[in-house]
Amino acid sequence: MQKHLPKDVTIEQVDVWFQDEARIGQQGTVTRLWAIKGTRPRVIRQQQFNYTYIFGAVCPERDEAVGLIMPYANTDTMQIHLEHIALRIPEGRHGIIVLDQAGWHTTKKIKSFKNLTLISLPPASPELNPTEQVWRQLREDYLANRCFKDGEEIVRASCDAWNCFESKVGAIKRLCSRSWANLKC
C-alpha cells in the first residue's frame, strides 16, 4: 500500500477522497417518525440476517462520488472499489484516499495505483471520516424503517439510495467538506 505522494505530484494536483463501507440489510436502522402527540407509532424490525455492503468514496471539493454495492467487505471487494476510484481521477491529478484501519484497507495484498495514495485515519475515529455522514443520511432518508424481502431487494434499495444521494448537485460538497482537509490553503 502506497503511503506517500509521488515526487512529481504537487499539492495543486491532489484531490482528497474519503472512503468507507456500510452494511445494509434486514436488521436495518430504526429512526424517529412523525406521529400525533401522545401516540407511539410501531415500526417493524426484521430478524433475518441478509446483508449487502455499500462501498462509497466521496471527493467533496469536486462534489463527486464513487459507490459500489458489494456482497462482502474484504480485500477483493476493496481492490475493486479502489480500481473504480482510480478510474475517476482525471489525467494529471492524484487522489489521496482517507480511510479507516479496517483489515481489508491495511493489508499488504492491496495493489497500489499510480494515481492513488492511501492514508489511514487513527484507530477508532469515525468522526474524522465524512463518509459516516453519508451513511447516516442514506439510512435516515432511504433505508430506515423498512423490511426487505430478500437480498435482491436490499441491493436494489441500496443502489436507489446511493444514486439518489449522488445525483443531488452539491450534496456531497455540503455534507462532506472539512476545512482541515483542504490542501490548497
For residue 32, being part of any structural domain is answered with: yes
pLDDT at 153: 92
For residue 1, being part of any structural domain is answered with: no
Can you give the residue range of the structural domain that contains 147? 11-181
Which residues are CB-contacts of 140 (< 8 A; sequence separation ≥ 6)?
29, 31
Residue 34, C-alpha cell as written in the block: 412523525
For residue 137, being part of any structural domain is answered with: yes
Tell me the chain's radius of gyration from C-alpha atoms.
18
Average pLDDT per consecutive 10 residues, the chain (185 residues; last block may be shorter) = 68 91 72 72 63 95 96 96 97 94 91 94 91 94 84 94 96 92 69
pLDDT at 152: 93
pLDDT at 184: 66
DSSP 17: E
For residue 98, being part of any structural domain is answered with: yes
CA 49 to CA 14: how far, in whole Å? 40
CATH code, domain with 132: 3.30.420.10
Split into its structural domains, the chain has a count of: 1
Cβ-based burial of 93 (10 A; exposed 0-12, middle 13-18, buried ≥19): middle
For residue 4, being part of any structural domain is answered with: no
Count of all residues that appear for the chain in the document? 185
pLDDT at 10: 80
pLDDT at 119: 93
Residue 56, C-alpha cell as written in the block: 462509497
DSSP string covering 52-119: EEEEEEEEGGGTEEEEEEES--SHHHHHHHHHHHHHHSPTT-EEEEEE---HHHH-TTSPP-TTEEEE
DSSP 18: E
For residue 6, being part of any structural domain is answered with: no
